[in-house]
Structure 1
Amino acid sequence: MSFEAGVSMLPPVASHPPSPVGSMLMPEHFLLQQKSECHYTNGMQRVRYLKRLIWGQQEICYYDSDLGFSVARTELGRPIAEYWNRLEWLSYLWASVEKFCSYNHRRFKNITVDRRVKPRVKISTLKAESSHRPSLLVCSATGFYPSEIATKWFKNGQEETAGVVSRELLHNGDWTFQIQVMLETKPRLGDVYTCQVEHISLQTPITMQWVAQSDTAKRKMFIGIGGFVLGLSFTVLGLLIYQKNKKDGPIILVHLNYTKILKTVSLNFKDILDF
């Protein structure tokens, strides 16, 4: 793990000695950058602090806590490195491992290193233009953090490696990521395809299944869904008429949101019916 900050990064380590940087740089150059970097290994077992000075687009000198002193990259950086190697500056730089790196690790660890967001997983289908060409099953994992994720395809319990294509990992812009892993295949009736997603935020992998069905089975399922909704409509209508015709009881109005029912059913069976 590494952590990088510009010159404005907090906290101030201490009041450091005055630097000769400004007086040594030529006015025709237009950009001065100072970067402070913290590199962590195995948590906090090993911490490395780097202070880099960049003039224009070239690094001219740097301090490395592993070395314990500053090194010039160019002639322009040589007097600055010599100045940084004075005891008063070295004392300041030596303290940066604890006061800058360790401090920021403790301060931001919960929202960076320890941040965990579980992925949302779904399977969608892309039907081939020709019956002679394989179709695509697309496993989408979205909204997860950190970015490391493992996605596998299985067919009838056996892992598939041929025909698996992973798209580029994408940033969502909100500290989460998304990725699509596609399987090119020719499904046969009854084949069961499983997408398995492993991520550090999960105690157990997420698995989603897709079952290949014949066109006849799909039509029968669609007819069955339509028949169920139609039968439910007539049942409710009959109940309303029955309640209305009762002389001794109040009229009870029963209302069902058919739009919501149809939408839910459509979402559940969309991939099967469209494939």
Structure 2
Amino acid sequence: DLEVWTDNDLNDCQRHSIGDFFLMALTWACVTDTQCMHALLKCQGSSSDGHDASVVEKTYYNKMLYVQYNSTWGNVTGSTKMARKAADILNTYYYLRGIRETLELCKTWITRAYSILAQKVEPKVRLRLTKAPADSEHPATLVCSVYNFYPKEILVTWLKNGERVTSEVTSTDSLPNGNWLYQRHSYLKYTSTHWDKISCVVEHPSLEKPRIYDWEPTPESVKNKFILGTMGLIVGLVSFAAGLIYDRRNVPGK
């Protein structure tokens, strides 16, 4: 069994599962403040067609296991003398017929669940630039944020002029959104240059081939570079003209 349950305390119930799927329903009723019964119904299976589905129903009295039914066994068992008497009563045609109907529903639930989980959702990608502290070695960090994808397996890498970047890169794990979708963020230490082409590459099962997202400087930064370049050109021309005039004035005979 790939799942481990603590029978002594439902509040501390934990699941350890590898490649298994289950649905769970929990109900309880209290006669007094100190006398409560809990019923736990679990539908589980590891195949997409539900052929190996099983149903486990456990009833607890004051957090102690009282009786349980396992569709693999086919009957109800009790943990105490009184519980075994109750189990004998429950092992009737009507109860077992009802639980077998629940098993058929369990197979349907698992089949539907796997069909949903088999769907793939393409990621959404956003590239942005964040400024680093003044004392940082690199003036900025490029962030490639990948949102709302499924399944969680994904590869996010960086290219610089077509070559993969392996240094100055950090990434998060695939983080759950809480709605079956995931997100991941990758960070590249960035020093702006005019000739470097920086790209974020995303590979995911929902994509037929890797997608490349090129970093394009914002219009404001392009405008600033244009202004600086123009000013440099003007200063150069003025300096050249001033030098030419100075030379002509100092030529003998002029």
Q: TM-score, normalised by structure 2?
A: 0.58
User: Hey, what does 2:16 align to over in structure 1?
Assistant: none
TM-superposed CA distance for 1:94, in Å, is: 4.6
User: Hey, what does 2:225 align to over in structure 1?
Assistant: 220
Secondary structure, counterpart of 1:101 in structure 2: helix
Cα 1:125/1:151, change in 2 over 3 Å = farther
- Give a deviation string over 1:32-64, Cα, whole Å, max 9, x none: 233232223354353233223344555544333
Residues in 1 aligned to 2:168 and 2:66: alpha-carbon distance in whole angstroms: 49
Across the aligned residues of Structure 1 and Structure 2, the Cα RMSD in angstroms comes to: 4.2
Residues in 1 aligned to 2:146 and 2:207: alpha-carbon distance in whole angstroms: 13
Matched, 1:117 2:132: no
Q: TM-score, normalised by structure 1?
A: 0.54
Say whether the 8 Å CA contact 1:61–1:77 is kept in structure 2: no
Matched, 1:154 2:173: no
Cα 1:106/1:45, change in 2 over 3 Å = closer
Matched, 1:64 2:83: no
Matched, 1:2 2:7: no
The one of 206, 210, 228 equivalent to 2:211 is 206
User: Hey, what does 1:141 align to over in structure 2?
Assistant: 146
User: Hey, what does 2:170 align to over in structure 1?
Assistant: 164
Residues in 2 aligned to 1:45 and 1:161: alpha-carbon distance in whole angstroms: 49
Structural mapping, 1:175-194, within 5 Å = 175=179, 177-187=181-191, 189=193, 190-194=195-199
- Percent identity reads 16
TM-superposed CA distance for 1:178, in Å, is: 4.3
Residues in 1 aligned to 2:174 and 2:221: alpha-carbon distance in whole angstroms: 37
Structural mapping, 1:248-259, within 5 Å = none
Unaligned runs of 5+ residues in structure 1 are 9-20, 225-275
The structure whose residues are more often strand, as a share, is 2
Say whether the 8 Å CA contact 1:32–1:54 is kept in structure 2: yes
- Give a deviation string over 1:140-178, Cα, whole Å, max 9, x none: 22233x35141322233325376413066242x6x3534
Residues in 1 aligned to 2:166 and 2:64: alpha-carbon distance in whole angstroms: 48
Say whether the 8 Å CA contact 1:4–1:36 is kept in structure 2: yes
The one of 68, 76, 83 equivalent to 2:88 is 83
Residues in 2 aligned to 1:80 and 1:162: alpha-carbon distance in whole angstroms: 68
Residues in 2 aligned to 1:162 and 1:61: alpha-carbon distance in whole angstroms: 59
Secondary structure, counterpart of 1:46 in structure 2: coil
User: Hey, what does 2:35 align to over in structure 1?
Assistant: 29
- Between stretches 56-65 and 116-125, larger displacement belongs to 56-65
User: Hey, what does 1:46 align to over in structure 2?
Assistant: 52
Say whether the 8 Å CA contact 1:136–1:183 is kept in structure 2: yes
Say whether the 8 Å CA contact 1:153–1:195 is kept in structure 2: yes
Aligned residues between the structures: 203
- Give a deviation string over 1:64-107, Cα, whole Å, max 9, x none: 334444455x549943773387363445445543x221222455
Cα 1:75/1:123, change in 2 over 3 Å = farther
Residues in 1 aligned to 2:209 and 2:128: alpha-carbon distance in whole angstroms: 22
User: Hey, what does 1:232 align to over in structure 2?
Assistant: none
Cα 1:82/1:151, change in 2 over 3 Å = same
Say whether the 8 Å CA contact 2:122–2:207 is kept in structure 1: yes
Secondary structure, counterpart of 1:41 in structure 2: coil
